[in-house]
Amino acid sequence: MGTGAGIEREVSAAVCGLDIVEVKSTAEGLVDVEDLKPLLGDDIAAIMMTNPNTLGLFEKEIPEIAKLVHACGALLYYDGANFNPILGVARPGDMGFDVMHINLHKTFSTPHGGGGPGDGPVGVRKGLEQFLPKPHVVKDGDKFVVENPASEGDYSTESNHVGAYLGNFLVNVRAYTYLLTLGRDQVKKVGPLATLNANYIKESLKDDFELPIPTTCMHEFVFNGLRDKSTGVTTMDVAKRLLDYGYHAPTIYFPLLFHEALMIEPTENESKETMDGFIEVMHKIAQEARETPEEVKSAPHNTPIGRVDDVLAAKHPITTFKQLQHDND
């Protein structure tokens, strides 16, 4: 059961033979507890949530949700995609979550583009440790040791090993280095800075872009395209035009709550000067949409390749040079 968590996690659940059931949201963009209640029963394995959610809003009903989920014998799973704003401030376990994975590329500076290399460490509450695959790092007195029993005989939780784990070892080292560089006190500033930056951009742009849920956000927020819909300029057009100004477009058309979704997440790292530059360009694109909409609709103009046919690219992707040569013959 999901409440707006990452699509790839839903796919993983489906591969394991589970049916995915979505829970509705309220008009305020939060989990609809009343919609959740009749969905719960002894056939529910778990409910996956992000908190804050994909709209950048804190799920204030999380204690009630945790109570309901645990009452039917299910687990509450925390998708760490939106961990930034609560880092060093709140712990998912204290909210009632039983299992969580940490998105190292979102919170702890590791690579993401091009598919990785990535890694998502998983943590569990007490009582579920046996289900974590080996090797385990455990504390023994004042030091840490590795539990790595031989994987022999029939499958069991004692001999359950994760495959190719060490292939991403350096990704974990990078995340650990990032934490050591920040230190205990500076880690606690990540959340407030990420929240401040997101709200600064949101408030600066809401006159030109539609803000469907006008409230204080946390680390990210979602516009529903341009405020002025009469121009016919879409979120896709805005994203393409951003390329002309040297910006990689933010996430678009996700989450699916809004037809022209434009998600913006500046993170804690951006300076005010950088954000002001982005804000200026977004205002300029909004002005272009009003005055010269065709210029925006036909963007990008300054990139090596102009606007591609997205539908054709999805249906007939060119993945090899030989295929490209064949298509050009």
Band of the pLDDT at 133, cuts 50, 70, 90? confident
What whole-number distance in Å separates Cα of residue 189 and Cα of residue 185? 7
Q: pLDDT (tens digit, 9 = 90+) per residue, 77-119?
A: 999 989 999 988 899 999 999 999 988 888 888 877 555 666 7
Calculate mean pLDDT across residues 137-153: 81
Q: How far apart are the first and last CA of the chain?
A: 49
What whole-number distance in Å separates Cα of residue 184 and Cα of residue 189? 10
pLDDT score for 151: 64
Angle in degrees, 0-180, between the axes of helices 235-244 and 272-291, rounded to the nearest 10? 120
Calculate mean pLDDT across residues 230-256: 95
Q: pLDDT (tens digit, 9 = 90+) per residue, 317-327?
A: 888 888 877 76
Conformational region of residue 253, where left means phi above 0, alpha means psi within -120 to 50, and beta covers everything else: left
139 close to 99: Cβ distance less than 8 angstroms: no
Tokens of 22: 């979505």
CA quadruple 228, 232, 238, 241: dihedral, nearest 10: -130
Domains of the chain: which residue ranges?
7-132, 184-303
Q: Give the whole-number percent of the chain exceeding pLDDT 90.
A: 64
pLDDT score for 292: 98
State how far Cα 121 lies from the chain centre.
15
Q: What are phi and psi of 75, to 5 degrees?
A: -105, 155
- CATH class name, domain 7-132: alpha beta
Q: How many Cβ atoms are within 10 Å of 236's Cβ, its own excluded?
A: 18
Q: Token pair 């968590």 is at which residue?
A: 5
Q: How far is CA 305 from CA 243, 246, 249, 302, in A?
A: 11, 14, 16, 8
pLDDT score for 1: 56
Identify the residue with better confidence: 147 or 69: 69
Q: How many Cβ atoms are within 10 Å of 148's Cβ, its own excluded?
A: 11
Q: Name the residue type at position 172.
A: N
What whole-number distance in Å separates Cα of residue 180 and Cα of residue 203? 33
Tokens of 328: 């050009």
Is the pLDDT score of 170 beyond 70?
yes
Tell me the CATH number of domain 184-303, given options 3.90.470.10, 3.40.50.720, 3.90.1150.10, 3.40.50.2300: 3.90.1150.10
pTM, entire model: 0.86
Across 60-74, 123-137, 201-215, least confident range = 123-137
Identical fold at 7-132 and 184-303? no
